[in-house]
Amino acid sequence: MKKTFLFLLGLLIGAANALAQGFPTTSTDESTKWYLIQFSNGGDVLTANTSGTQITIGNALGSDTQLWKITGDATDGYTFTNKKGYTLYVNSAATNQMVNAATSPSGVSKFFINETTHSIGGYEIQPKGNTNISMNLWGGPGDSRACVGLWNSGDQNNAVQFIEPAVFENLGKISIIPQPLEMTVGEETIDFSKFTAIAYNGEQMKEHIEAFATQLNTSAGISLEVKEAGEAAADGEIWFGTDTTLPAEGYTLTTGEKQIVIKASQFGGHLYGLQTLMQLLPREFFASERKENVEWTIPAVEINDQPLLGHRGYMLDIARHFFNKDEVKKVLDIMVLYKMNRFHWHLTDDQGWRVEIPEYPKLTEVGAIRKASFSNADGQNFYDDTEYGRGMYYTLDDLKEIVDYAKARNIEIIPEIDLPGHMVAAVASYPEFSCDPTKQYEVRVDGGISHDVLNIGNEEVITFLKCVLGHIAETFPYDYVHIGGDECPTEQWAT
């Protein structure tokens, strides 16, 4: 398989934050709908405490100053008024104007709501008369000004989402991470002990369904028959079905008194639906022994969920601090619970080489071991003077085992071999790969940037890198291998 070796400068993206609840419903004389208006970047909400002053942002409390009704239409524009009776307005539809609120607004008090063009997702609120600008979280999240002004459309600090009070009120009771795209919460509570079977869809899901049933029996004493899904859900059944209209990692989940139905188009969606079901259960579900005096109930919900971001990643550096195979698998288990799908695995660095390369055995015989380690808590370096790293590496079979384990959890691995800098462990093993083969090298203990880098003008180094990257490409059957490329002083190349 052809590989693409990308020069990446850092971790691409982390897990997604809470997602939008969709386009808001407008209020009428007959029906009023209230919303928190939340900035996607940071999570603060629009707040108007006093009439005739600039609005602010703050933590979502659900107070009258933060709940807004929206009236009007897409043709003439929308008006935003909070429960205190204050309406949003700007003095003019121009960049850098601040957003105010008053009982008797002046200037421009009608706005349009359009989907943002930024990848963060959500909507932008734009003044009537100039849709090239939008309400903007001035200075970004955490800025001390805590105000809202008008700025160019498409900025990441423009995106907002409209949160219904019922969803906000249930955040403490229903803790799903990341928050689903759409969730409707009913008033009923579902008795989970009444379910007697769980039906999986596809062989890939069987392992996870069996593990779920085992864990439920361990912590709750509830026994579920595990079986292959039929064409429709039966009473008393948790049923995984197919909906080909859903995106690859999307799913729907509906909980009822007689049935729990999870639908997806592909394995990833079914797997994520199961993670959401686990998070709906009491936290005692994850216990390693039977828990008494627990109400084994879940809320009545209808969920339609899909990821905002295609890359939801976690990076683990095992060059400095090694994780064995079982520990890495635990990391992957936690990742899938939070619907992460990319594992960036930093496998080599100055402080240790952690991958077996059969053609170059000294990489793990010498390069895995350093004479000490240090911590810099409180800004002071402390050295423990204890050898670290002997035997701390993965064989190629180990790596293949973890690749398979990750695949079964809808996780792709992005392996990193940092080069041509951050290679002290390699040149300590093979000094002939350095720019000065006469020098004595040791696996680095300190952090920071070493000036001892690979001699890229040496054909033996090129052969070495081809060998290493060849094994990595063969072991990790994905599109990308991370080659670091950062912090590489070049003065040794000049001489």
Active site residues: 349, 422, 487
Q: What is the enclosing helix (H) or strand (E) of 396?
A: helix 396-407
Query: In angstroms, rounded to a whole number, what is the distance separating the alpha carbons of residues 382 and 431?
Result: 28
How many Å apart are CA 423 and CA 5, to the nearest integer?
18
Return d(Cα 485, Cα 453) in angstroms, integer.
Answer: 11
Torsion of CA 92, 97, 103, 106, to 10 degrees: -20
- CA 234 to CA 484: how far, in whole Å? 52
Show Cβ contacts of residue 277 under 8 Å, excluding neighbours closer than 6 positions.
212, 238, 253, 260, 262, 298
Q: Are 38 and 123 in contact (CB under 8 A)?
A: no
Cα→Cα distances 280→32, 85, 170, 189, 459, Å: 30, 37, 12, 11, 58
Helix 396-407 to helix 459-475 angle (10° resolution) is 40
What are residue 90's phi and psi, to 5 degrees? Answer: -130, 150
Q: How far apart are CA 97 and CA 190, in angstroms?
A: 50
Tokens at 82, concatenated: 């909070």
Q: How far apart are the first and last CA of the chain?
A: 38
- Phi then psi for residue 348, to 5 deg, are -140, 150
Q: In b/e form, how buried is each residue of 227-245, taking b as 16+ CB within 10 angstroms?
A: eebeeebeeebbbbbbeee
Neighbours of 316 (CB within 10 A): 17
Q: Are 299 and 186 in contact (CB under 8 A)?
A: yes
Torsion angle defined by CA atoms of residues 233, 235, 238 and 243, in that order, rounded to the nearest 10 degrees: 20
Q: Whole-angstrom Cα distance, residue 261 to residue 241?
A: 7
Quote the CA–CA distance of 308 and 311 in Å, as a whole number. 9
Positive or negative CA dihedral for 289, 294, 296, 300? Answer: negative
